[in-house]
Structure 1
């Protein structure tokens, strides 16, 4: 297995979880919370992640003097209250058993209680924006609920179309072979290998070159004693224009339980390297884990697909 890249090749790989940096804009994760639908809840849960901003939006202005976090010191940036918005930013990820109470007081004196919690491990959702309504019959609440239903419908249609295309995709078939360890049945050869060890995971990555295609695999061992590990998404885009490109993804397991290992494979066709003028350009592939942080990235030189 080669330990060094050819002289013409440049690649950069980073295997440390960091907040998302500049890149293609993410689709906003917006949740609607109608308080009248949960009358028995003393404190409504808001799921927050380290170094990721969460915004609560209300129907009326908030009182900044009576809106506060309780016991937040050392775990959150100072709370920002601006008009109808409350901005929350944890300094680090909360532990599974951690929670921080938040009291929001509206301009009319209404007090609303929330409990800031880490994302639920099963689905890993982090609230980026939460629209809060007191009554489900209000105009804005109805509009928000309709928008939420339309987003869910569109997301379901996109997911069905994605699954239909993957059934006949050669790139997804190649990714599946890499995940299963059957590299000999693919056109790829290993160009470079990396590795890294973190407090909760051990990772190793391989970069492949093939005829008209490039590929990346990441093998992960979850070293946490009590928390699952998941990779929630990957992004491929032009390093120059930041325009998104298509990448085929396959995973051995949807989630890795403590002590479990699994492999993720990404296959990129030569067409993804072409700009609007048909010229080959450099791409960046980013990987995001369950808590919303970027686990790593690799810069893909177009000469990977010229062989």
Structure 2
């Protein structure tokens, strides 16, 4: 017989909420290189009403010659100030929507752009700043290319390090949990909670085991057009008496293992995310903590679910 805790038990408090708590994002800045006046390629810029997009040039733009077709009611008027052009959409766009922007520079060069609605796919994230270089061999352009090369190298190193770190027993256990093979583990389900939000229906199953705790999130995407994906998961210690409502900003970050059965969940489909927490996560330099807060942030930076885990979930 399974050891299921009563609803009011103090052993486990699970709270799931769809709340508008944004997490911090790095500013999405990139560079494009336009090779002279006869450039045949029209650069694509991905925009969103959630943030303005700034185009930065090496020379001033001319407001009278900078224009966009069909912008009325969909964008704020394009602003041209000094070497900058500001683009501010008023609404989200369908994948097939395209808008042509032509920027006139002080030397008479016209630079065309295609504006598209941003998605969460790789390469289609919202552009917050695009640095535009007309000649690829200027000092500024070469410096930008060098910095981008170094940034790509750091990303590759970080990705390799993450893959190395994820080759652990806890990650193997998380893989079993996310695939539904709970019977192959020593974990026992302690509680289950259901949230029905605007964008997703989330079922959280919480498990306890020998020196381990785990949470399986089953996410059904209720949005009719946008995919759901996990941007970040966080695990923090909680202080005695701390408010158990998010966000949790002051606790110490702890390590955990995470596995997902897919990168993103298409509209109407269901996916799973598993998190495994070791007993060591409850140990700090100042001693053992009683509770940990686990948070899931979706692709737009909002907190979609959080779970409070009690140390007594762990069996010796």
TM-score range (shorter-chain normalised) is 0.7 to 0.9
TM superposition shift of 1:251: 1.5
Greater shift after overlay, 86-95 or 152-161? 86-95
- CA distance in 2 between counterparts of 1:95 and 1:224 reads 14
Structure 2 portions without partners, runs of 5+: 237-247
TM-score (norm 2): 0.75
3-state SS of the aligned residue for 1:14?
coil
TM superposition shift of 1:240: 2.8
| 2:203 maps to 1:205 | yes
**Which residue of structure 2 lines up, in the alignment, with residue 148 of structure 1?**
148
Matches within 5 A, 1:1-307: 4=7, 6-7=9-10, 11-15=14-18, 21=22, 23=23, 25-36=24-35, 39-41=39-41, 43-64=42-63, 66-77=65-76, 79-119=78-118, 123=122, 125-126=124-125, 127-167=127-167, 169-184=168-183, 185-196=185-196, 198=198, 202-210=200-208, 213-222=212-221, 229-236=227-234, 238=236, 239-241=248-250, 245-256=254-265, 260-272=269-281, 277-278=286-287, 280=289, 282-289=292-299, 292-294=300-302, 296-301=304-309, 303=311
**Distance change (3 Å), C-alpha of 1:221 and 1:207:** closer
TM superposition shift of 1:265: 1.8
**Distance change (3 Å), C-alpha of 1:145 and 1:15:** same
TM-score (norm 1): 0.77
- CA distance in 1 between counterparts of 2:6 and 2:47 reads 40
Query: Is the radius of gyration larger for structure 1 or structure 2?
Result: 2
**Distance change (3 Å), C-alpha of 1:10 and 1:197:** closer
TM superposition shift of 1:197: 5.8
3-state SS of the aligned residue for 2:153?
helix
**Distance change (3 Å), C-alpha of 1:222 and 1:136:** same
TM superposition shift of 1:2: 6.8
CA deviations on 1:36-88 (whole Å, 9 max, x unpaired) are: 199212x3211123413433222233345554544334434554545433343
**Distance change (3 Å), C-alpha of 1:264 and 1:88:** farther
Contact 1:190 1:206 in 2 (8 A): no
CA RMSD of aligned residues (A): 3.6
Structure 1 portions without partners, runs of 5+: none
